[in-house]
Each structure stands twice: as C-alpha cells, then as structure tokens.
Structure 1
C-alpha cells in the first residue's frame, strides 16, 4: 500500500481516492478549491515501520507470505522491538534479531514515554529473555499451537508486567484488548484501498460512518 488514501467531501458524500479528481464522481461538478466544503484529508495508514517503533509488539505477515501483505488468509508473525528498532522474534530455529523486514506491520506500544526506568532496561530485559532455554531449539521445540512466536511475545510482556508489580495477561485478554481492534482497522483500510485500486473511488453518504476508524 504505497499510495495515501485521501478523503474529501462533496454533495453530501465522503469520497475516498488516491488523488483529488477533476470532477466529483457523484454529481460530475468540477472540483475546485472553493467547491469543497472541507480541505481533502490524508488518512493515516494503520501500518507502521517496526524498525522505527521502539518497545512495541509487532504483527506482520509470516515470512512464507512472499507479498508480505495482510490479505486476511495468511499466517501472521509477531515480534518485540528494542529501543533501537531491532525486532526479536521466535522461529523454528530460535530467536532472530531482525534489522529489516518489518517495515509494514501493526504496532502495539508497550511502554509509555514517561516510563524512563523501563526504557533504560528494556534492551537488557529483551536480550536476557531471548537467551533463555525456553527459546533454545536444543531444549524446547517450536510448536505451531502452544510454543510459537506469540508465546514468546506474551511471555516477555507478562514478565515485564510482573516485574512492574502488575497482573499478567491471558492470551485471550491481550488479543481481544490490544490486537483485534488494530486488526479490524487494518482489515477495513485494506478493503478500502483495494476498492480504490479497482474502481478509483469509494463513496459513502456523509451521514454514515466512514469505513476507516481509529
């Protein structure tokens, strides 16, 4: 998704496109600056560059998805970013430390900017955790259902929570609270983007909810 999605309003419709058209696709009127009730707005992509997202849970299409796109059918892969944007992720060969390959992913921040004590120790925690026997293929075998990349991430997150004196999270509660809302937004944005690629525009009545939400 290399283009930015633009939203403009005309004749009581929200119109989504990649560039402002010469004429309104709904009524055919020429679109000049004075003809628009509001200035066109560029919608932010729900995807982020994981290597520029410090201390985040990252979700990306699995490595065997050659297009590396969120198509709704491919498996997903998860990792944890360091303060320097190195992505630690657990695979069948152990923990990888990727410095590239996570440029288009879902990012879930894990640390508030004012948590200076945790930010200062984050990379040490991540290194120490990654070197544990739980993630060494010689000691524990990767399992698609019970000992996988998400197990690695959630175990690390819960370790941090306990160290901070907070309650740990179950897989379901973490998924429902932090991951699914972002996945839904990516799904809506992707469908909108693909519709515009094929039809040039997507229109909805102004009174209705727009197809992309925060």
Structure 2
C-alpha cells in the first residue's frame, strides 16, 4: 500500500480488515510545490489511527530535505478523528509524504493533490533519470539541496558557492561520483550547498551549483 503519486487529481483510501500502515509519496516537477486538500476524512483516534503529513520525504530513516533547510516550521503534522483538516497543506518543495494507519475497516480519507508553481525552487527531490540541473539561491540567504532517487553518476559543471568572483561561473575539475539507490536499501544520494553570504559582501550575490546527472543503470546497460 506504499504508492508513488506524481499526477494531480483526487485520491482516496478505504481500509480493509487488518489494514497495515501505508504511505503516499507525492512528487511533482522540479519547479513545483505539492498542495494537499482533504475532501473527506474519518480515522478513529481511540484505536490508534493517525495520518501524518511530512514536508518532504522520509527514506531509510533520513529526511529530505533536512528539517534545518526548510524555510518554515511546517515539517510534520498529524491528524485523526471525523473532522477533515480544513486548511490546505502546501509543501516547501516538489515532494511531500503522507503516512497513515486506518485500523477500522471502511474508514479512510479522500485527498486532492495539486502541483503549483514554485518561482524559487531550492530544495528538490528528483526521480528523473538524466539531465542538467542548476540550483540557485536567488540572492537570498538560504541553504539548498538536490536529492536523487536512483543510482546516479554526477558530474559538476560549474559552481559559485561560498566565494566572491568576477566570473559568472567558476569551472572546477570534472569529478564523477557513483551513487547507490534508495531502492537498493542504501543511503539516498543528495547534494547540498550553503549559500550564505560573508559579512564583507554588501550586495545580494546569486550563488549557484550546476550539475549533469546520468542514470548509472542506463550507462551499465549501454556498456
């Protein structure tokens, strides 16, 4: 009953007898945020039923993005009872996780999922297999991260992080890293950079990290 949802729409869950704990992993495009709205809700509290929403994903007992990187205190919210949560939940990035346990047969919930525009994407979780990606801080003091949910080969193209330069980019030596996949029960690959400005900088400077990503499985298959 653990499912990956990447298409907007209405989803529902109705518990069978002896239903186990389940999860919905929600993910949109890199420039999207997850918006959740409950249309119907009935999970018995006295029997230990509960639904929790995590702003991001939990994989292998790790949270992505890190709670320290989230821009607000909205990391884990829990609900039970017969009254549906009234307000909409909007994730900080393109991913959110719903964990739920519905102990009584016939109970459950209906959920509306939307993926809304994120004009300043910073923390991103990716399930795409290849491409070139750029992380920026948009001149704002904040940390950003990029997590890949597949075995990856990462090549750094350009970086401008933590130093002041007259160039738009600072080219660095090509370096490849072979990363293991969450689905192999290893740590989920993740890149993070600190974009905080030094005290000597008076202007807002855009910090960035640009990388090329390849799916390690496709490279092995072509060889």
Structure with the largest fraction of strand: 2
> TM-score band (shorter)?
under 0.3
TM-score of the aligned structures, taking structure 2 as reference length: 0.23
Tell me the TM-score normalized by structure 1.
0.23
Larger radius of gyration: 1
